[in-house]
Chains A and B, each alone.
Chain A
């Protein structure tokens, strides 16, 4: 038996096996994941720090207002090993934070002048805080701040720069005070050797930043100041914090109107004190000259010019150099002093113009206004210029170069000095040596006399001591006096007894020789 086997039907098979679908799907998924990962990867930036203290790879986070925006991915050194390079991955959604002026700093426990901060990181660990900048340009390389900024980021207010050439230095965190209110802080400071001045960055919080105007003055209020004058004693303390650590105060002087508002960072001068603001602030001025013969030792640039005790100006040049060509025209040995008369110290701003004031001042000079140099401080010996009026009018005002000369008169100290010199000359002519020698001789003689007198007094005291009642001498004297008294009494009695005889002899001088015996005495009779 044989069967016929139908020929097999053949069909073409697929080139790719369906078994490859799974791996394809896996591949697609894989690629998708890679793409997703690539798409969602963070923005890599680098931050330079001096130290990596508190920072850990894949643990230290970057935060903005306590929201995680990134993570530290790598910590290493730069090429010369001078700084630490922190590789950070910032989330793509926070791209806008990476302005070129953004600031980064490590938040960790710190104790400083501003107080204690970062306590929370004791548990959570240190992190890097970001303060986004305002620039429109982006950057991927930043230099971190070693110290967190004093002012919280994005705080409304005004940043200013204060310059100082002396006075008490300020510290970061010192308060900025306006009439007793704490309105800001000192953020940073630096000293510039080239200009020999200190620069302080201060921040004034809103809305107090609107108090800063173009004619605002800043002064140092560290510690306290003590003023003693005719009005009494005044102790000035801005605040307790400024008393301990220092601070800055600002205000517009009372004699000035409020100026234009300052809206952006500006540089102001920092005065040493409130008083120095009044003394050293710049006024408009007119310059004059003085020609004096007195000593100008103690007169300094910036010394006050006063009229009846009111400050009206400032000394610009204590003395003009003798090789100045203008000295050639002077007669005699006179010293030229240049002073500034500042009308703003006497009048309000709108009262008079400088030209009008200058004309008026010339009239005063014609009427007898004069100037002298006087002592400003007897202890330090500093001098000042004092203006005063007199009855001596002048027609012609002397000139010293381009300056009108205010007539000067000798100081009271000079007059006193001249009188003292005359007195000393007279004293010098006195025969002092002879007088002293004579006085010495007299003193020696007086001393000898006094010694003898003392001895005599001592002896007299001894005698008187011996003559005290109850003493043997006293008793002896008393006895002698009693004896003398009795003797005198007896003598008197004897005289009384001889009185009849004397009377008889007076009546009859020859009774002693030719008289007979007296008759017998009559005697008292018996009582009947």
Chain B
């Protein structure tokens, strides 16, 4: 009796563990590219903290997501993020911002609670079945004395060869483009602040070193 049970169990386990040579392997992607060494900011230079980027729930997962036609979303089984997507996005944005500026530093951390902050909220960040990569959301500059009005952004790039591999690269490029957009907006706000005009984009004069 015991033999029959043992053999039956063995067959069942064999069926469970059998993997057909046709099963694809899982590919893990990292949004960061090769890390770049950012220059050491001089002592006393203002620091803007880039807070954790908020993403929708459907993006807050390890599976890569693709949008199909008719608002259908496809979650990949064999293509996953190696790291948390929001954390990776934050690292890429900080790296890109520091590469684009010289008189101010961006950081994920701040030693005190008085640092001005850059808060980014991403609503769409995925490739589409038709060959586009989309990055959309909004960001605000905030400080102790207040915050700017949310600045929306919608950035897209086209896939030349297709596939998740290129999609990840284009998604990274979109984050660099977002950083460039943010820095230009900051320069604009700084100029408006120097003139004393709050400008249409400011809720109030925060007095932040924009």
Contact = CB atoms under 8 A, between A and B. Distances in A.
A496 B56 CA distance: 12
Interface string B94-116: 00000000000000000001000
A517 B131 contact: no
Interface string A462-500: 000000010000000000000000000110111011001
A520 B75 contact: no
Interface in B1-20: 12, 15-16, 19-20
Interface string A8-24: 00000000000000000
B197 interface: no
A523 interface: yes
Given A469-B113, A490-B84, A497-B61, A526 B162 contact: yes
Given A490-B84, A513-B16, A524 B164 contact: yes
Given A489-B84, A500-B75, A517-B23, A528 B131 contact: yes
Contacts of B130: 524-525, 527-528
B162 A516 contact: no
B2 to A, nearest CB: 23
Contacts of A500: 75, 77
Given A493-B84, A518-B77, A526 B24 contact: no
A524 B12 CA distance: 38
Contacts of B66: 522-524
B67 to A, nearest CB: 9
Nearest to B86: A489
Nearest to B67: A524
A521 B113 CA distance: 45
A525 B129 CA distance: 6
A520 B62 CA distance: 17
B140 interface: no
B61 A524 contact: no
Given A493-B60, A493-B61, A496-B60, A523 B162 contact: yes
B71 interface: no
Contact of B159 (A493, A521, A527): A527
B22 interface: yes
Contact of B22 (A469, A517, A528): A517
A518 B20 CA distance: 11
B174 interface: no
Contacts of A517: 19-20, 22-23
Contacts of B193: none
B126 to A, nearest CB: 9
Interface in A503-523: 512-513, 516-518, 520-523
A493 B61 CA distance: 5
A524 B130 CA distance: 6
Contact of A523 (B80, B84, B164): B164
A524 B78 contact: no
Contacts of A493: 60-62, 84
B162 A521 contact: no
A516 B24 contact: no
A187 B27 CA distance: 139
Contact of A526 (B12, B16, B160): B160
B190 interface: no
A181 to B, nearest CB: 86
Contacts of A497: 61-63, 80
A527 B132 contact: yes
B76 interface: yes
Given A469-B113, A497-B63, A518-B78, 5 more contacts: A496-B62, A512-B16, A520-B78, A523-B167, A528-B131
16 contacts: A489-B84, A493-B84, A494-B62, A497-B62, A500-B75, A500-B77, A516-B20, A520-B24, A521-B78, A521-B164, A522-B74, A523-B66, A524-B127, A524-B164, A525-B162, A527-B132
Minimum-distance CB pairs A-B, first 8: A527-B131, A527-B158, A526-B162, A517-B23, A496-B61, A524-B127, A521-B76, A525-B162
